[in-house]
A and B are shown apart, each in its own frame.
Chain A
Amino acid sequence: MPIIVQLDIMLARRKLKSKDLAEQVGMTEANLSLLKQGKVKGVRFETLEKICSILQCQPGDLLMYEAESASKTTETVEKRDF
């Protein structure tokens, strides 16, 4: 999926556990885990706002776009080099 969720990186930076973040945001740990893995179809602005407020970050710190064709090309080049 082109959208990569970097929530685990921000959690590590802020030294916050997933369980605590889920509790403060008001969502289940299971949903937060799905979000971290990028296995959700979308994120509500309200949820994004709460996460950014708690982690003191910008939405861009949590979400990154990586085109699939570019990532595949990168993988192919890396394999050849190896």
Chain B
Amino acid sequence: MTQQRIFAMTHLVNSAFERHSMQRISGWLSWVCLLLIVTLPIVVFVYWAVADAGLLAVRANMLPWAIQAPLENWQRWAGALVTCIPVGLMLRGLWEARQCFRQFAVGQVFTQQAVQRLRAFAAWAMAASAADMLISPVLSVLLTLHNPPGMRQLAIGIGTDHVLSLLFAAMVWVMAAVIAQGQVLAEENSSFV
């Protein structure tokens, strides 16, 4: 057997192995997405129910001692509901990601549906990140509502996590464009026998 044939066969085996790995990992990731979709809302409400004032203040881009009056139940409920806005947008994105991973899990990689799902995930992730930046002022006002006059706060902030989230979403958008190019090549390849 020539060296070229050995190389070609090894490449085919490695490609098949990688494809199988990709399908298996995609299957797991689709279930991870579903798990997150189910548990994240619960985590949000539990967090707002049990977290102390210092943690909640930091969440709203304030210093830990910014909240100077005991938090009432309605404030915690309202904070959880406001936090659910970016979380809800991200959950929508995770649903798109789950559908995309399910397609990858059955070997359908270079398809128009996969491209659309990836782009949708990127768009929802960007929206979630933007919403997260916008709710900080709302949360800061909500949490310091019962502070003494002159001690109430309106906090506006953009953190590295927001920037990185936006960058990640942009990368996914670009990856979707790359897969769209791959789809064209795959269609071209399928017309060769």
Residues of A within 8 A of B (CB): 27, 31-32, 34-35, 40-44, 47
A sample of 10 more A-B contacts (CB under 8 A), given A40-B193, A42-B193, is A27-B193, A31-B193, A34-B193, A40-B191, A41-B188, A41-B191, A42-B191, A42-B192, A43-B192, A44-B193
10 nearest CB pairs, A to B: A41-B191, A42-B192, A31-B193, A40-B193, A35-B193, A47-B193, A43-B193, A40-B191, A41-B192, A27-B193
Question: Please, how many angstroms separate the alpha-carbon atoms of A42 and B191 in the complex?
Answer: 7
Interface residues of B in 143-193 (CB under 8 A from A): 188, 191-193
User: Which residue, B188, B191, B192, B193, has most C-beta atoms of chain A within 10 A?
Assistant: B193
Question: Please, how many angstroms separate the alpha-carbon atoms of A40 and B192 in the complex?
Answer: 6
Contacts of B188 in A (CB 8 A): 41
Contacts of B193 in A (CB 8 A): 27, 31-32, 34-35, 40, 42-44, 47
Contacts of B192 in A (CB 8 A): 40-44
Contacts of B191 in A (CB 8 A): 40-42
Chain A nearest CB from B149 CB (Å) reads: 76
A-B contacts, 10 of them at CB < 8 A, read A31-B193, A34-B193, A35-B193, A40-B192, A40-B193, A41-B191, A43-B192, A43-B193, A44-B193, A47-B193
Residues of B within 8 A of A (CB): 188, 191-193
Chain B nearest CB from A26 CB (Å) reads: 11
Chain B nearest CB from A7 CB (Å) reads: 11
Question: Please, how many angstroms separate the alpha-carbon atoms of A42 and B193 in the complex?
Answer: 7
Question: Please, how many angstroms separate the alpha-carbon atoms of A56 and B192 in the complex?
Answer: 22
Contacts of A43 in B (CB 8 A): 192-193
Chain B nearest CB from A8 CB (Å) reads: 15
Chain A nearest CB from B156 CB (Å) reads: 57
Question: Please, how many angstroms separate the alpha-carbon atoms of A28 and B191 in the complex?
Answer: 13
Question: Please, how many angstroms separate the alpha-carbon atoms of A26 and B73 in the complex?
Answer: 69
CB-nearest residue of chain B relative to A47? B193
